[in-house]
Structures are given as structure tokens and as C-alpha cells.
Amino acid sequence: MTIKDNVEKVKEIVNRASKRSGRNPEDIIILAASKTQPVEKIIQVYEAGINYFGENRVQEGIKKIEQLKDYTDIHWHLIGGLQTNKAKYAVRYFEMIHSLDRKQLADEIDKRAGKTGKKQDVLIEVNVGEEESKYGVSPSDLEELFEYSLKKENINVLGLMCIPPYSEDKERSRPYFAMLRELKEKLEKEFRVSLPHLSMGMSHDFDIAIEEGATIVRIGTAIFGERKAP
């Protein structure tokens, strides 16, 4: 299977999952998770019709963004955890940050975005499984962080993101995706805001995520193939 074949297969799954849930497949952003992938492969994915890419590490992402700066219609998102001391670089290079999860980071993003005259699009990452090994605000603390971030002049909160506990059975992800959607709807109602995005679902469960309301699916292996061990 070529990368083009992989992209076509992913698009077909998106189409089917969207139709099952009465949604328009064009409303779903397929974001290619390009961590550790060389720029040559990113170009192949771009040429196959994907122009959203997500990087986990700021420095690795910056190198690729610089190398591909002539591709002006590529949208670069930061999807990995963000250290406060890297926030200034994330703000400079990434269109959207999916991993806001604490007040200190909100402060830093707001400060750095203000200095560059930018209003930074962000998603709040929620640790839906309350796993110690994962980033994200706990569901019980989400409302407080959301309200805090909402007051920041240079931050634009557009929705929520999650990575549920991994299971071979993708149906086990469904309750976590449903939880994230319900949390988003609760915030919208309580604060009278519109949150257009839910970033959830990866290669093995993105169809379930779409059925539960995902607007951004982060797909690595199903597009790029299995990663080779370093």
C-alpha cells in the first residue's frame, strides 16, 4: 500500500463514519500525525490531499515547518504536551495548540501571543481516563481552567482534545469520546460560547470518534504506515 492508497482508505472510513452519524465528511479535519516522519513522506501525504499536520515535539516540528515553508497552505498543529519554556516557539510556529492543560501554560501562551500580536488558537487537553502517565486537565478541573483561559486576551479556546486509555477493542474508546463531547456541550451551555472543535481519535479508533462528534482526527500509522524503530 502506498501513502496515497492509505490516504484514500482513511478518507473512505471518514466518509462512512460521517454518514452513519448523519454528519458531513467535509466537516472532519484529517490531521496527519507526522511525529518522526521525514519531510519527504510529509510531501507525499500533502500530494495525496492532506494539508493538516500535527507534531508532538516543538523543536522537531519547527525544523519541518522551516523546510516546508514554501507549502503555504499547510496547517501545522502542535498535538503533544507543551512545556512552558517552549510556549514562545509553539506560538510562533503553530496555528493551533491542542495541549493546553494548566493555568501556568495559559499565562505563558497568552503572554507570548500578545508579544507577537497574535491570538493563539488552542484546545484544552482533558485527561479523560485520569491516567498519571498522560497530559491533560482532569475532567473535574476543566471548568476552572476553561473559565481562566477564556479571560485571556490572546488565547482563543476552540474546543477540547483527549487521548483515551488504549485498548485493542476500539469500542472501549467510545465512552471517553462521548464524555469529551458532553464536557464540551456543558461548557458551551454554561458559558454561552461556541466550541467548534473536538480533537479525538487516532488510527485505530477514529471512526468511533467521528460517530461521537470528533471534528479533528489525528492519524499517524494509518497514513504513514508503521513507524520503524530508531
Q: Read off the pLDDT of residues 217-229 as tens digits, 9 standing for 90 and up.
A: 999 999 999 866 5
Choose among 83, 164, 152, 81: nearest CA to 121: 152
**If you average pLDDT over residues 21-39, what whole number do you get?**
97
Question: 137 phi and psi, to 5 degrees?
Answer: -80, 145
Cell of 4: 496515497
Q: How many angstroms separate the CA atoms of 121 and 146, rounded? A: 13
Question: pLDDT-derived band of residue 1, with 50, 70 and 90 as boundaries?
Answer: confident
C-alpha cell recorded at residue 6: 492509505
pTM for this model (two decimals): 0.96
- Maximum Cα–Cα distance across the chain: 48
- Residue showing cell 477540547: 160
* CATH number of the domain located at residue range(s) 3-224 in this protein: 3.20.20.10
Positions of E strands within 60-149: 75-78, 96-100, 120-126
Cell of 195: 466550541
Q: Are strands 75-78 and 120-126 parallel, antiparallel or unpaired?
A: unpaired
Render pLDDT for 85-134 as a digit per residue (tens, 0 to 9). 999 999 999 999 999 999 999 999 999 999 999 999 999 999 999 999 89
Domain ranges of the chain: 3-224
- Rounded to 5°, the CA angle 3-123-111 comes to 120
